[in-house]
Amino acid sequence: MTATLPAEEFDTHVGPDPNPALHNDDLGPLPQERRRWGAFEIFNVWTNDVQSLAGYTLAASLFITAGINGWWVFAAIVIAGFFVNWLVNLTGKPSVKYGIPYAVMARSSMGVRGAQFPALVRGIVAIFWYGAQTYFASTAVALALDAIFGDPQLAVFLGMDLIDWVSYVVVAALQVVLFVRGISWIERFLNFAGPAVYLVMITLLVAIWVQAGDRLLPAVGSIFTNDSVEGWAAVGAFVGVIGTIIAYFSAVVINFGDFARFSRSEKAMRRGNFLGLPVSLTFFTFLSLFITAGAYIVLQDGQGDPLTNPADIVGLVGNVFLTIVAALTFVVATVGINLVANFIPPAYDLSNLAPQRISFRRGGYVTAAVGFVVGALWVATISQIGLPTFVDTLGAILAPLYGVLVADYYVIQRRSLKVADLFSMDPQSRYYYRRGWNVRALAAIGIAGVFSVAAVWVPALAVLSGFAWVIGAVLGGCLYLLVMWGYRPAGADTGTAPTPAAAESDV
């Protein structure tokens, strides 16, 4: 049964005449009758994010590079899953309540105009992720084609041969087609992909375990351990893994409202988050740990570095049929989450910049075009920094936005928004601040963002690199509360609007 909230909590009216510069049908509050998602749909959002090729590659890379026992890395990833679950419950709650996407939610803290800046930053980060995930999905298609054509030796351009490029274009085009077909098609896509990937991975693990026998369990702990990582260094590595996994999910964490607004109730959202994050992430990480270790001792004979891409591991099995089936399944999973996590959010964010001129669909086309260029350069340039560093950097950029959003809604706004004012340019409206900008919030984000990104890239702060997301989020939220100290949103309790003088003095 759907939970019933007090009538005032479903106040999603945008007023009789919302400003067209701030409103279109995609940005407006979603009416209750269009909120069809239950726990299963939310679960599938996270399951597909976890199961993507980039997700597996990141987990496997952390097993290899952390330098600690594989079981400790596994525990760190599970802990991160519980923490992310708590984070998204916080950001999802207001969007379930009011039916608004992140781009609109950000207006509460940044101002109706100022919200364009964080939304644009979030959109740019999502586009980078979109390009990266598109490339990872294309590697599975390329694996299937190589298996069919006997792995021909072809000329290479920007790190990819002709089969790689054909695969990349096919995946990019498939994503645009699904986007055009609409959210219902994407829902069906995700509902199929989640179970299919688990079936393939379980089959692969069984095949490897049969060959590995009693060698597999000892290998899980031993092959990833680096004797030089001991004491406090091991503790730092453990916490660093937690921080990197949180950063991996940060792109979805910050804009989870884009999906939560489709939930029928907060209870359904919370149940879906729990099943899709700590539960699904634990199972997938268990499979990743054993497949990576097993493939190293069985398929690689302990030679070279353990493989981090499951598509490459499947390719070593030598079964063309299994290779094709597994490759297509991984493509489905990666494309599904790429659309949900990295295509739809920037489409909203770009539409938010100019609702009159940029529709949700047009924003999607821009995302596809720019993301195509990013993915095309992945092998030759971007991947050279390493996937964990790439993840930590993007997470550090987004972290202050999360801290400010949560601090504003739960402390400054006291969990009560005036929805009509989110779409109003009236100087007396609650979120107008000064000419539509809350410069205090932007200053807090800027300061926190510089420090969190520096934690990833400045050698003197290297010990903090795994904590970059947490540092940025906490610092951003604390600075925001500091600069907004004593500020009380006009009309928060009475619904009355501030006077022009009050609006100016509050900022």
Kindly write down the DSSP assignment for every residue of 8-35, as one continuous string.
Answer: GGG-----SS--TTT--TTTSPPPGGG-
- Domain coordinates in residue numbering, the chain: 23-380
Give residue 506's pLDDT.
Answer: 34
For the domain bounded by 23-380, which CATH number is listed? 1.10.4160.10
Q: What is the mean pLDDT of residues 325-335?
A: 76
pLDDT in tens, 344-382: 777 777 777 777 777 777 888 888 899 899 888 887 777
CA atoms of 366 and 347, how far apart (whole Å): 8
Task: Tell which residue, 255, 322, 248, has the closest CA to residue 284.
Answer: 248
Give residue 186's pLDDT.
Answer: 67
- 153-190 exposure pattern, b = at least 16 Cβ within 10 A, e = fewer: eeeeeeebbebbbebbebbbebbbebbeeebeebbebb
Give residue 41's pLDDT.
Answer: 85
pLDDT of residue 292 exceeding 70, the answer is: yes
Give residue 488's pLDDT.
Answer: 58
pLDDT of residue 11 exceeding 60, the answer is: no
Q: Model confidence at 2, in pLDDT bands (50, 70, 90)?
A: very low
Q: Model confidence at 402, in pLDDT bands (50, 70, 90)?
A: very high
Q: Model confidence at 500, in pLDDT bands (50, 70, 90)?
A: very low
Which residue would you say has higher pLDDT here, 249 or 495? 249
Give residue 487's pLDDT.
Answer: 67
Average pLDDT, the chain: 81
Give residue 3's pLDDT.
Answer: 36
CA atoms of 48 and 38, how far apart (whole Å): 16
Q: What is the mean pLDDT of residues 32-41?
A: 86
State pTM to two decimals.
0.78
Q: What is the mean pLDDT of residues 167-183?
A: 84
pLDDT of residue 503 exceeding 70, the answer is: no
Give residue 13's pLDDT.
Answer: 61
pLDDT in tens, 421-468: 998 888 888 999 888 999 999 999 999 999 999 988 888 887 777 778
pLDDT in tens, 185-228: 666 766 776 677 778 788 888 888 888 888 888 877 777 776 66
Q: Model confidence at 17, in pLDDT bands (50, 70, 90)?
A: low
- Going from the C-alpha of 375 to that of each of 112, 282, 336, 379, the distances in angstroms are 33, 29, 17, 8
Give residue 1's pLDDT.
Answer: 34
Which of these ranges, 57-71, 378-392, 454-468, 489-503, has the smallest mean pLDDT? 489-503
Which residue shows structure tokens 């005036």? Answer: 418
Radius of gyration of the chain measured on its C-alpha atoms: 23
Q: What percent of the chain has pLDDT over 70?
A: 87
Which of these ranges, 134-143, 253-262, 487-496, has the smallest mean pLDDT? 487-496
pLDDT of residue 313 exceeding 50, the answer is: yes
